[in-house]
Each structure stands twice: as structure tokens, then as C-alpha cells.
Structure 1
Amino acid sequence: MTQNIELADIGLIGLGVMGINLAKNFAEKGFSVIGHDSSPSHAMNEPAIYVHSQLEDFVRNLVKPRKILFLLPAGQTVEEVIQSLVPYLEPEDLIVDAGNSHFEDTKRRSQELATKKINYLGLGVSGGEDGARNGASFMAGGKPDIFENIKPFLEAAAARDPDNNICAKRLGDAAEVGHFVKMVHNSIEYAEMQLLSEVYSQFVEIKGYNNEDISTAITSWRNELEGSFLSDVTSKILKTIDNLTDAPLIDMIEDIAEQKGTGKWGTVSGIDLGVPAPTLYEGVSSRFISQYKPDRITASKIYRPVLHKNDVLSTDTIKRAFLAAKICAFAQGFQVLKIASLKYSWDLKLNDVAQVWKAGCILRSNILNKIVEAFDRKASLTNLLLDTYLSEELKHSIPELRLVVSEAALCGLPLAAHSASLSYFDSFIKSKLPMNIIQAQRDFFGSHGYRRIDRPGTFHTSWED
């Protein structure tokens, strides 16, 4: 609807769950907000948000230079909205893509719009519906002068950590850097979710705990290094009763997990950058294998797996093993960020990344305090496994991870992410790996050559002469 109102401070395009709640957040902080959506009926009753059905009216009712925030599905929808919007924009107007766009798309769009003197930056947003309404984590890119136009809005709407730090930061000059950081955030998120599902599996399959017992155990982690938003979520899920059957709701949910793409993009980026990130990969791969339910049912009838409950694994062992595996997952994610920053010349400050994740986002976790401290101690740190504090934690918790993985293997219990973390750790700390065999094989059948340990240069052998 079009109304005669004063020009608005900011406009939002995409008034779904995230868009509506972020608009309410901005309005509550004193900003005037208008919106546009192709199906705006659900937003019409929001008194703080004036909704325009026509893009031209929407643009005309914004203060110049205009600030327009997208909360749209990634991909073609963003392209179509940009094409429809640009004819009404003027030089120095700003589009902020706050959806989950791929960082390479954000880079391309920024470059294309720059030729029209329209500013464009990617904004990673984490926190879900509650974060959008009450305080999210905002990960932004863009040059300082461009970011300044949106900074007051983000800082007002952002979460604050227990030390009152605002969880909204400009992480680099490149327009795409915010979306890359959010993509890696989601990859680590996938990994932690998988690790927690495996914790649940250990408690059920090996220890024979009921849901209430598991919830109590995980709740006890809240103030310890293992504690996180996701562990709290898991604890609450396990206590929820289904209002249709009066059974625990978790027992009524089918064991098939879906994904929207950002976790997958993160693991692909790790591969493209040459960064080993097996725990992040298993966070995605385990969801894929869950989707082959008919095959899994058939296979279970063929192989008839039998799991034996025992008391080998204590509650504390399971907790400490989870911590070790989680540290490895964070180490992989932050190394992806480190190598990407070097490759793309982003100059990412990894302590800033950890800081902006400390509140509001899905990944918020007690361990982030230690990660901030690690990069404060040594900004050039190449891998969190090399940090003085975290390495001491791992020395104490890796034996528990080793026990959990070995016991689960003997029982036939799949712990893909725990196992990946342990293999990653063992490979990372080994000064000599059997890659000499692989390089010799490559030279044998492909004449790829190899380097020697006793002299410089590249060598080739005629192996069958």
C-alpha cells in the first residue's frame, strides 16, 4: 500500500520471517522503516512498517542516499530484484544483501553495480527469527565509507556479548567478505550439529539413557567450555513432548536431515583453497547419507547390525570427546578463513570474526572466548591447534575422543564427525605422513615427478626399467 509519509531511513525487500522481524527491530530502535514484498499481505498489519507494493513507490519514499536491505532467497530471486530495482536508483544508493548469497555472486554483483555508481555489499546475518527480532550477529564487507551508511542500523539491531561488545563488524573492504564469513560460520555450525547428534547417539545406543537423562547431561555443560547455543537447543529439544501423541517429540521425527547449501558451499571452498576440513565435510555428508532411507532400511536387513550397550564410556568422557572434536572443527573453519583471506587479499582479522560470533548467532559458544584470546595473543596464528591454551585442552581431551571413536567403531556406531576430527588431529600432529607413497605412485603412472628429502629439485624415475 502507498501512504503519504515522511521519507524512511531504510527499506527492506523480502518481508518473510527474517525480514519482518529485522524491520521490527530497526523500528524499535527509532528508525523509520518501509518494506516491499511480492506477496506483502502478511506484513500489512505491522504498524511500524509501511509496505509498498510498487518498487517505484518504495524507492521514492526513502531518504537519499537510499539504504535498501535484501532478505531474499539466494540465487535467481536476487538477480531479478536487482534488475527491477536498478532503474529507480541513483548514484551512491546502497543495496545490502542480507541473505545467504554465495560470496562469488556478491563479488560479481558489486562489480556490475559499481559501473552504475550504485554501492552493493554482502551482509552475513545469523541468529534466526529470534536474532533478527532481538539482536543478531552481523558480518559485513565493504569499504569503510560505504559501510558507514549502514553501520548505525546494524549496531542498533545487533546482539551484545556479556562484555557489552556489539556483534556487528565490518570484516574487510571486499563486498563479498561478509558472505564468505557467514558461509564458513554455517559450515562449522553444520559440524557442531552433527557432533551433538553423535553425542545423542552415544547416550542412547551405548549407554541406554532416556531423553530426560541426556538433556540433563548436556544442560550441565552450559557454563563449561563445551557449552553453546546449540547444546542448549539440543537439551531443550530432548525435553519437548509431542502434543499429538504425548511421546517425546524427538522420537517422532524422521531421521532424515536436509540442508540449504551454505554448509556445502563452505566445504567446497575449503577444497578449492586446499584446506583440509573433514569434520565440516562430514557435517554435510552425514545429512546426505540420511536421505538414502530406503537403502539404509534394506541394508539393515542384509547386515543386521547389533549394538551392545556398556559402561566403558562415562558421561564425562563423552563430554570431553565432544570438546576435542569441536575444537578441531573450529580449527578447520578458521583455517579456511585464514587461507581465503591470504588468497583474496581480504586482511581478515580472525579475532574480529570470533568476536562477532560471541552473541546473537547460531554458533555462539563458550569456546569463542578462548578463540578470541588465541588470535589476540598471535594474530598470525595459522591453526588453532597450535594455540598454547587450546593445545593444552586437546592434550587432555584427545584421549577421550580416541576412546569414544574406538569404542563406537567396535560397537558399530557411526560417529562420522568425531572420527573425522580425530583423523584430522592425528594427521596434523604427525611430522611424517605416508604421502611419499602417493607421490611415487603418481610418478610411476603419470610421470608427475617428486621432491627428495636430501636435495632440492624435482625428480622422475623410470620405475620399471
Structure 2
Amino acid sequence: MSQPFSKMGVVGAGSMGSNLAMLFTENGLQVSIFDVKPENIDALPTVFEGGLDAKYRDCITLFKEYKPFMESLGGTGMPKLLVFSIPHGSAADKIIEDIRDHLAEGDIILDGGNEWYLNAERRQKYLQPHGVSYISMGVSGGYQSARRGPSISPSGDKRALDSVMPLLEKFAAKDPKTGLPCVVNLGPAGCGHYVKMIHNGIEQGILGIVNEAWELMYKCLNIDLDTISKIFMEWGSEGELKRNFLINIGAEICGRHHPNNHPSHVLNEVQDKVVQDADETEGTGIWSVMEATKRHVSAPTIASAHFFRIASADRAQRLSVVDNLGESLGAARKQQVDEVFCKAFVEDLRLAVYCACLASFAQGLNLIARASADEGWGVDLASCIRIWREGCIIRSEYIADLLQPLLEKECKLTNILTLRPVGEEVRRTLPALKKVVVTAIEWNAHIPALSASLEYYKYCAGKHLPSQFMEAEMDYFGAHSYDLKCDGPGEVKKGQHHFEWKPA
């Protein structure tokens, strides 16, 4: 039975929390907002004045103390409903401890932060004996989607989720094709945050891919930003990259000039470093790479894009390396090419970007499937694609249209590269990816994600890999043993054969 809610408490008054509050209010809820930093609360009236219709502003109440905040959510026979929109880690633990005495049986906490799934599961176990449900809830799409409708990936206690699902379905982004809300109960425990974490891993891969495509056009082909904006716009309007979110916003970014007719592009003033991983404000990329290693899933597109970001963060150290190794080693080279070559290369680049994006999806979905099997979650990969159709950063209509119906038929699949239609797409576009990678190497462009995607396809489809030599060397120095070719493919476990290459 669905439980109606008329009040919502939002913990966290940053960009995500404040935009969620406005979204909730416009959909009929009385919203209370609390933040541990009083200055964040003080800033909200200005935020609401610029982003919320006056008729809704009286429906939001601001608090700087826990007790009145929690008391504002009470009601006769009505459980309290809270949404956390705060940094991952100890912040949520501290807040739970501070409000613990104000929580009662039946209360529900929706943790909408980018949290480590094991932290979510630990809190679920801590609160469950007290009758408080802690829902592990990924919220995708950034603060813009938080304002208009995000993609939501919740998990946890089924009864609690059933009670809040009508609300979540109301607030979630809607698939423009079907009108279905981009929210599904993904299963038990912390799988909601796990799926959101891998969403961000896939996102990390695609960010790297699009970043590399931009450099090839801007720094190597010397295409101006306004023209690149039009190219991205064309890519995102039809074909394999249709409604790809990162392509679409890339068009906006490349075309954005300073206000007041200033001739300079905003992009040209942005420093070349991504610090969100290195300063630990963003953990999902790090966790995705860790999980790929822990669960023995090959995810080189995601990992290579991540390590590129890490290297970019410390610009001061990079400049020291430039002084030592020379500037030309790491500088993309500008090319002199004719219009025919340029047009053909840009088309190959479009197909290469799509092929590499498909690799990032394959790696992320493989990781979700492996974790789901390991943990007994029963996560449906088709449902993941469904909630990623709108309101999230990895939205990509063509890829979703390709994968969702296939995964609905193959509910126990772990690797989409075994699906024939996916194989056809890879075979069709892989020549373009190869051509782009070879050319980019000649031009000294930075292509960690594109090149890693190419190698991923090559070794995943390798019937005879050179790893037999590696296995022999490991047997030589460590007596690790090996399988024989005549034994067949065998299982993923230690081989039964050893050769005494050299006596001790």
C-alpha cells in the first residue's frame, strides 16, 4: 500500500539539495531544509528568489538547528521522510547520530548522495532494529536534473520503498518516448548506490572519450570552437550519438561566449585540470576502478579515463615534468589537412566516439552484473538502461534503444559483447576507431580512453592471446602452474601443470 506524504525534510542546502527542495515544493510538498553550515541556509532565500515562483516559497522552511527541523516533519500517525543530499563518508554518519533521538519507527531516510554502497548497507543495518528505513538512493543528472527531474536508483527495504515509490515516480525524469519515470526499485541492500557509482564510472569513460574527440578537432585539426559546437550539435541530433547528453552539452560549451558580446569563449579560460577525484570530493570514479579490480572485470575505458583525470589534477607537477622531458612530448600537433580529409576524419571520429562509448557501457554493465551475482542483489540490467534514458549524464538514446530490448530478453547476461546485435555494431564501427587511434598517435594527441577502448575490444575478442607467454614466465619464477591447450578453455582457476624451467 502506498503511503501519502505531505512533508519532506532535506538535509543539505548545496546545489543538489536546494534544487531538489524546489522540485519537491512545486509538486505539492511542504519542505523543511537543514544544513550544518548556517551560511548555506542564509544563501537560500536568494537562490529561491531567482529560481522558484513566489507562490511556492512559503512552502519551504529553513532551519539551522536539528530539533526544530525534525519537529517540523512530524504529524499524527505520519512517518517522517528525509532526503540526504550531502557529501559521502562521515558526514551522513554524524547527521544520523545527531538526529537519532528524533527518529521513530516508520521513518524513512533517502540518501541521495554519491555514497559508497558498503556505507549505505552499514547504515541500513544500524537503523533497521529501530524501525527506521535507510534507502540507498542514487540521484543522477547533476543539479540541473535535480531541479527538473533526475534519474533515480533506489534500493533497500521493499516495504519502505513501496511507500515512497509514488513520490519518486512523480519527481523522477520521464522517458520522452514512453513517459515512464526513470526510477525503479533496483533491489535490496546498497545496490542503488552501487548502480549510481557505476553510472558515474561509465560517465567517466564517456567524458574522457568526448574530451579526446574535442582535442583532435580543436588542437589537431584547428577547427574553431563555434564550428565544433555545430559538429557536436549534429552528432547529438541523429544517428549513433543521438541525445547523448555529454555530446549535447559539449555543443553548448563550445559555443558559449562571454556575456555582453565579449568575443572570447568561456572554454578558453578553463584550466586543464580535473581535481574532483584527487581532492576526494568525488569518490565514485575511484570506487568504480577499485571495484573493477576487486571483482576481476576488465574496465580499461573507465580506468584509463580516470588515470588521465588524476594526472591532469596536479598541474604544477606536470609543468615540472615538462621542464624535464620537453614540451613537445606531451603536446598535440596541429595538422595541415584539406577539407575533404577533415570531413572524412570527423565522420570517422563520430563513429569512433560511439564505438568507445559502447565499450564504456559494456564495462560498466559487466561490473554491475558481476557485483549483483556476487552479492545476490538480482539487479536487472534492462532496468538500469531504463532509468538512464533521461535525467542522467550517460543518457544516450541510440545506445539505450539498442541495449534495453536485448537485456529484457537476456536477463541473466553478464557481458553485452556476447550479444549478436552488439557485435554487429562493434564490427561496423571498429574500423573507424582503429583509424582514429592510429592517426591520433601520429598527431601526438591524448587518447587514453579511445585507445583503451580499442585494446579492450581486441583482447576481449582474442581467441589466441599472448598471455600464454606471461603465464609461462609466472610459472618459471613462481611455480604458478598453467593449463594445457589440449585441456580446452577450462575454468578460471589455477592450472594443473608445472614445468621445472630451472632447478632452484
Normalised TM-score (structure 1):
0.94
**What amino acid maps onto 1:71 in structure 2?**
S
Matches within 5 A, 1:453-464: 453-455=485-487, 458-464=496-502
**What amino acid maps onto 2:191 in structure 1?**
V
1:184 alignment counterpart:
198
CA contact (8 A) 1:136 1:159 kept: yes
- Report the Cα offset of residue 390 of structure 1: 2.2
1:409 aligns with 2:441: yes
SS of residue matched to 1:352: helix
SS of residue matched to 1:170: coil
Of residues 365, 372, 379, the one that matches 2:396 is 365
CA contact (8 A) 1:12 1:70 kept: yes
1:201 aligns with 2:215: yes
Question: Cα gap change, 1:308/1:241 in structure 2, threshold over 3 Å: closer, same or farther?
Answer: closer
1:263 alignment counterpart:
285
The aligned length equals 458
Displaced runs of 4 or more, over 6 A: none
Matches within 5 A, 1:71-82: 71-82=85-96
Cα distance in structure 1, aligned partners of 2:259 and 2:222: 25
CA contact (8 A) 2:345 2:436 kept: no
Question: Cα gap change, 1:446/1:119 in structure 2, threshold over 3 Å: closer, same or farther?
Answer: same
Cα deviation, 1:59-99, whole Å, max 9, x if unaligned, reads 22324322111111111111110000111111221111111
Q: Show structure 2 runs of 5+ residues with no match.
A: 49-56, 277-281
> Which moved further from structure 2: 162-171 or 435-444?
435-444
SS of residue matched to 2:437: helix
- Report the Cα offset of residue 243 of structure 1: 4.3
1:116 alignment counterpart:
130
> Which moved further from structure 2: 90-99 or 184-193?
90-99
SS of residue matched to 1:122: strand
2:305 alignment counterpart:
283
Cα deviation, 1:193-241, whole Å, max 9, x if unaligned, reads 1111101111123322111111111110122221311101111100111
SS of residue matched to 2:43: helix
- Report the Cα offset of residue 440 of structure 1: 1.8
Q: Show structure 1 runs of 5+ residues with no match.
A: 1-6
1:127 alignment counterpart:
141
Question: Cα gap change, 1:74/1:81 in structure 2, threshold over 3 Å: closer, same or farther?
Answer: same
SS of residue matched to 1:360: coil
Matches within 5 A, 1:13-92: 13-38=11-36, 39=38, 40-43=41-44, 46-62=57-73, 63=75, 64-92=78-106
> Which moved further from structure 2: 235-244 or 416-425?
235-244
- Taking every aligned residue pair, what percent have the same amino acid on both sides? 28
Cα distance in structure 2, aligned partners of 1:43 and 1:135: 20
**What amino acid maps onto 2:431 in structure 1?**
P
CA contact (8 A) 2:20 2:146 kept: yes
Of residues 423, 439, 459, the one that matches 2:455 is 423
- Report the Cα offset of residue 347 of structure 1: 0.3
SS of residue matched to 2:310: helix
Question: Cα gap change, 1:460/1:337 in structure 2, threshold over 3 Å: closer, same or farther?
Answer: same
- Report the Cα offset of residue 361 of structure 1: 0.9
Of residues 347, 350, 372, the one that matches 1:319 is 350
CA contact (8 A) 2:258 2:265 kept: yes
SS of residue matched to 2:241: coil
Cα distance in structure 2, aligned partners of 1:369 and 1:60: 46
> Which moved further from structure 2: 87-96 or 411-420?
87-96
- The RMSD of aligned alpha carbons is 1.9
> Which moved further from structure 2: 156-165 or 38-47?
38-47
SS of residue matched to 2:61: strand
